[in-house]
Amino acid sequence: MDVLEVLEPGPLTTVQDLGRYGYQRYGVPSSGAMDTFALRVANLLVGNPEGAAGLEMTLAGLQVRILADTVFAVTGADMRPRLDDRLVPMWRAVAAPKGATLSLGAARAGARAYLAVAGGIDVPVVLGSRSTYLRSRLGGLDGRPLQAGDVLRVQGIVPPSTIEGRRIAPRLIPRRGGSQTVRVVLGPQDDRFTREGIRTFLSSVYAVAAQSDRMGYRFEGPRIQHKVSADLVSDGSPHGAVQVPGDGTPIVLLADRGTAGGYTKIATVITVDLARLAQACPGDRILFQAVSVEEARAALVREDAVLQQIRTSAPRVFARRLVTTMADGSRCEATIPFQDEETIERGRDTIALNVGGETYRVAVTRPESTGGREVESRPMEATADAASGPEQPLPTRGRAAAAAVAVAAALAAEPRPRDFPIDA
């Protein structure tokens, strides 16, 4: 099912999942989301498997048109997403009706944001993953960044009538961007460095260099001293390995790293802190802190506990409702599309009203004083709907007007729609 049309792609937007594993011995990097925690949370918020494909946006976001009712979530760097002209929250599921425009701006904190859509982005699976590896034009959408005019599908055939969504407690949202302490486990070749060199690495502040990307982050700062040489017989390059070439400045290898290399590796960034590093921008300052393997494992367990809270939290339900009633002896139907809780709190339903084969766009509001509903007096602008034909402005009198009043009366018994429970 087509769900997103790209209007503006942003500087670098790619399809990513949790990575491509099992092929590094053939020289194929794992790729995948740079901030896997953010992508996993985004997927959980919209009811997807944690490894479903989403969109990774770097430094600034994209603009898309919503082609079908859906639910989405944006996590990671703060890019102030807007749905049409309304600012929408990050780190929670948000309903988006067909025809709306979702826009994300420049990152205000952090470097990468993630957009997950209910169902998961559907592109061909290549070597077990939908992730994009740009250098080999592998995976994703034709192995390239998104561009204007691209249409993205989700897994599924027809728009679902009900989608479950969740939110994350504000206290669990990580702080990203700016100066960070990044934890490392020393090794595998820390014995190739002098004591002074290791002391320099762990006590100095390093700035992220402009020559940093998905392959690795270069740093500017004090030189790290080797005992003899920076070179060794090439061996495997783990995710987060801290290489120190001959010039003595560290390079952290990331998602699109080469699978083997011949420079000494003084340390390895722990799994949990790879996300912190992925959200750093050029110029941000990083302090490396040595921890034990046991401490690294404990941090990973704590992160999974956060994810488990989201997995087991009570979902919010987004549903499309069909209201049927009678007006002047004729049957009329009104379809209420997906909504979010802010719309519900405002007491406003925008419905598609079908009367005698004609479809009208009607706004139904709930006055605060009575708790009932009434039909908004001004007609809504006519739009086009492929499924039901052109929508007409609502007449002020006649059968269509009577039908709208009947629908409003049918809705009046629901001060707050049961289909959209609001969690505490």
DSSP string, 246-258: TT---EEE-TT--
Residue 63 DSSP one-character state: E
Give Cα 391 to chain centroid, integer Å: 33
> 54 has which bridge partners?
16
- For residue 337, what is the DSSP state? -
Residue 161, pLDDT score: 60
Q: Are 119 and 40 in contact (CB under 8 A)?
A: no
Site of tokens 């992220």: 208
pLDDT of residue 332: 66
pLDDT at 169: 86
Please tell me the predicted confidence (pLDDT) of residue 380.
Answer: 34
Separation between Cα atoms, residue 388 and residue 355, nearest integer Å: 11
Helix H, strand E, coil C: the string for 93-114 is CEEECCCCEEECCECCEEEEEE
Residues near 327 by Cβ (< 8 Å), separated by ≥ 6? 355, 399, 402, 403, 405, 406
Architecture of the structural domain at 180-294: Beta Barrel (2.40)
Global pTM reads 0.81
DSSP string of 196-227, one letter each residue = HHHHHHHHSEEEEPSS--SSEEEEESSPPPBS
Over the chain (424 residues), the average pLDDT of each successive run of 10 is 96 98 95 98 94 98 94 96 92 89 96 96 97 97 98 76 77 87 97 98 97 97 96 94 97 97 96 96 97 98 94 76 63 59 51 63 52 39 34 57 62 42 28
Placement of tokens 């979702």 in the chain: 102
pLDDT of 124: 97
Q: For residues 249 and 230, what is the distance between their CA atoms, to the nearest angstrom?
A: 11
Taking the C-alpha atoms of residue 73 and residue 423, their distance in angstroms, rounded to an integer, is 17
Torsion sign, CA atoms 299, 305, 310, 311: positive
> Residue ranges per domain, the chain?
2-167, 180-294, 319-412
